[in-house]
Amino acid sequence: MKLILLGAPGAGKGSQATKIVEDFGIAHISTGDALRANIKAETELGKYAKSFIDKGQLVPDEVVVKIVADRIQQEDCKNGFLLDGFPRTVAQADALARLTDIDYVIDIEVDFSVIQARITGRRMCVCGETYHVSTYKSDVCAKCGKKLYQRDDDNEETVANRLDVYRKQTEPLIAYYAAQKKLVSVDGNRSIDDVYASIKDVLHGNR
């Protein structure tokens, strides 16, 4: 099974990806992770990508596509994979189509106002725990007792910019995959478990 997970930043893709790969025994491919692995291993692609990152520039599509092409050939992808964070543009989707066929594209739909509240209300701890202002009882971590903090990029202005980029660059993929009859949209305004129940129905062919 070969899947793509779509959704705006803060839509809950990470939580759903974890559940999908565990239940269906497929590889979770994060282009960010694959890129960092190439850089750490000092592969030719990694060195080339790093030359752009060091200048504060975006890694070109052709580099990202080559990294994905290499990643999906690895042993853990033999039963399928879930792409998270790729493709981001129609051009990348066209390149992916030349590499492999995709079974389903799952779009987690969440109102942008809900996403704003989710991300700007998020609080982190140095130990890795994550909280939200709507549910936590104290501004210290229940696990280690350290004071919680807000990430620099979780402020309203940055979140609004990220959503604007998503709207312009990635939302066109919804129409792209709908035209191929591969797109399935699920309501992401619900709880993590309810969203996953809908995704499981799709993947088990019950919808």
List active site positions: 13, 88, 122, 151, 162
Q: Cβ(135)–Cβ(123) under 8 Å?
A: no
As a dihedral over the C-alpha atoms of residue 20, residue 23, residue 24, residue 27, rounded to 10 degrees, the angle is 60
Q: Which distant-in-sequence residues (6+ apart) come within 8 Å of 25 by Cβ?
A: 79
Alpha carbon 174 to its chain centroid, in Å, reads: 15
Tokens of 87: 């493709």
d(CA 119, CA 144): 22
d(CA 99, CA 189): 33
